[in-house]
Amino acid sequence: MPQLNQETKHKINFTLNGKAVSGYTEPRTLLSDFLRQEMALMGVHVSCEHGVCGSCTVQIDGKAVRSCLTFAVQVEGRAVDTVESLADENGELSDLQIAFRKHHGLQCGYCTPGILMSVEAFLEINPKPNEDEIREMLSGHICRCTGYTGMVKAIQDVVETR
């Protein structure tokens, strides 16, 4: 059995939240685990670990992706953004984060980072969605607390003000 050291790992180079980074990973390591354990990005939440709940969603090259269904080696040369990218360097929340707070779009917050990353990717494709389209997009995420109404209002608020 080989030792799990740097020699059995792959080096990956990619852009993470706007900065060029590199790291070592085993071929089977999930991106969700790599981001949390190697990059210390605890905003990547992991719940179901099989692509159902959406809590682990990040963006890869601007598209919403479930990091629990992605191997870390797959991001070689690509741009990964997590929820930590939304606030500015002074910690000022983004308009979407502020709207979620204002409209009570979160309670425990476990689902929230993944939802925010999906919403941002969605608004890039559809900047003026109607309520049905917003609810259809949110249907890919499981939230056990809010009932989704506050999230819909928050997204509508951002759509109106951007």
Positions in the binding site for ligand FES (CB under 6 A): 46-49, 51-56, 66, 68, 106-112, 143-146
| Closer by beta carbon to ligand FES, 2 or else 99 | 99
**Which two structure tokens, joined as six digits, stand for 132?**
């049905």
Give the residue with the Cβ less far from ligand FES, 63 or 162: 63
**Min separation Cβ 90 and ligand FES, Å:** 26
Min dist CB 23 to ligand FES, Å, is 20
Least distance from C-beta 4 to ligand FES, angstroms? 24
Report, in Å, the least distance between residue 48 CB and ligand FES: 3
Which stretches of the chain are DSSP H helices?
31-37, 95-102, 112-125, 131-138, 149-161
HSE of 146, CA atoms in CB hemisphere, 13 A = 24
If the CB atoms of residues 11 and 122 are measured against ligand FES, the closer one turns out to be 122
Q: Report the residue number, 24 or 110, with the smaller CB distance to ligand FES.
A: 110
Q: Report how far apart, in Å, the C-alpha atoms of 148 and of each of 29, 40, 122 are.
A: 32, 29, 16
Of 52, 58, 55, 147, the C-alpha closest to 110 is 55
Please state, in angstroms and rounded to a whole number, the distance separating the CA atoms of residues 57 and 142: 12
